[in-house]
Structure 1
Amino acid sequence: MSRALYQILEWITRFAYINVLWVLFTLAGGILFGLFPATIAMFSLVRQWLRGNSDSPVLKSFWQYYKSEFFKSNFLGLFIYGISFIFIFNIFFLYANMGELLTWTTAPLLAGMLLFIMLLFYLFPTYVHFDLSIAQTFKNALLMMFVSPVHTVFIFVSLLAFYFIVYVIPALGFVFGASFYCFITVWFSLDVFKRIAEKKTR
């Protein structure tokens, strides 16, 4: 029992620590240029942990991923920033010109935003799991999203449950927000990757 409790506390500490590192390294890159290298570093470490490699020093590994993926991850970030800007611009434009009709006239736009959010569930796990170009990363993440609707639903449900917990205990959002999102998406994505690989071997 004490052994199990120790392991639980160790994992809790790890995820709190990596969440702090994610915040610090994001700030170190001026937020705009630090967000995606820090995110990729966090996803890379969590992927290692879930695959059984949890012995490497956290800070050293995080810094190595951050440095090595700085430019490529920011290139990925440019696409995400661009797509996000298009959605946000269109919402504000429609709201400014149509007012109360917004909810009826933006159905396709909101559907596109939903698809984009679901794509993000698989985008970072795909990036850290495969050695692909940015275009191939988007393509494969999109494929994962469409071939694994059940996993996508589980991700939604898990994140929604965490949202309600954070609503009751806001401090948990500051301590585990990014790392919990990372853990959930990587955990389910690894199962998707495994299933697809097994189908290919058959």
Structure 2
Amino acid sequence: MRTTFLDWYQRMGRLGLRLLCLHLLWLAWTLRGGILLGTFPATAALYGVLRDDARHAARHPEEPPALTGLRARFGELWRREFGAANRLGAALACCWAILVLDRQVVERLDLGALGPVMAGGLTVAGVWLGLLTALAWPLQSHFDEGARALLRRALILTVARPATAALAGVGVGVLLCVYYLVPGLVPVFGLAAPAALTTAVLWRSGVLAARDAPVALAAAETPRLRRQAVSD
């Protein structure tokens, strides 16, 4: 019993340290890109490293990923995904801007009985868009496709695997609530914790496993997986 507790304690400690390092790298490379051009590539690099970690854990479950080379790998992914990540981020930002604008219009105009209906519809759309945003980035780290194809995959995932998508969304929501209640966790783990959670959910459910990806996400085409960066 004591050994099991110590193993669990050490695993949690290593996980916390890795998430802290990833968060600091995300901040550093976001600033390196001038925030505006660095945020989305840093996010893609974060999910790319978490993808490497998931593959490593699947092949070597008893061997934790090493911190050695983490900075170099993060920088490599940041540079490689710079254009693709900014295109995906711009597409998501446009969707959010349209949703926020529609919300403001509905709140300011007197639409009568139609107002509450439209407000409720926009709320549902906001939740769905938030879920698509949470799913798009782990998919982007796994599939070598453009922004439109990735958003389509995220949309298909919410329909074809609603339980998996809901679990990822609820998990992120719970983490955001924890961040709200304990603000001190934000500068420690930042985006790294929600990213790790969504990545873990999609990998454990088999959505991102190479053998399951064509069934789960592609109804009529074979997905183009990114080149594996970790040796088998």
Question: What's the TM-score once normalised by structure 2's chain length?
Answer: 0.77
Question: How many Å separate the matches in 1 of 2:144 and 2:124?
Answer: 30
Structure 2 CA distance for partners of 1:98 and 1:27, relative to 1, 3 Å: farther
1:58 aligns with 2:70: yes
Question: How many Å separate the matches in 2 of 1:19 and 1:178?
Answer: 7
- The structure 2 residue matched to 1:154, chosen from 160, 167, 181, is 167
SS of residue matched to 2:190: helix
Structure 2 CA distance for partners of 1:38 and 1:135, relative to 1, 3 Å: same
- What is the number of equivalent residue pairs in this alignment? 200
Fraction of identical pairs, as percent: 22
Higher mean alpha-carbon deviation, 52-61 vs 92-101, is at: 92-101
| Residue ranges of structure 1 left out of the alignment (5+ in a row) | none
For 1:72, the equivalent position in structure 2 comes to 84
Q: Deviations over 1:120-142 (max 9, x none)?
A: 22211111111122222122121
- The structure 2 residue matched to 1:37, chosen from 41, 44, 49, is 41
Tell me the amino acid that sits aligned with residue 48 of structure 1. D
* Bigger helix share: 1
For 2:9, the equivalent position in structure 1 comes to 5
Higher mean alpha-carbon deviation, 90-99 vs 38-47, is at: 90-99
For 2:176, the equivalent position in structure 1 comes to 163
Q: Aligned runs of 1:42-191 on 2, under 5 Å?
A: 42-52=46-56, 54-55=65-66, 57-98=69-110, 103-190=116-203, 191=205
- The structure 2 residue matched to 1:193, chosen from 172, 186, 208, is 208
Instruction: Report the alpha carbon displacement of residue 177 of structure 1 after superposing the two structures with TM.
Output: 2.7
| Residue ranges of structure 2 left out of the alignment (5+ in a row) | 58-64, 217-232
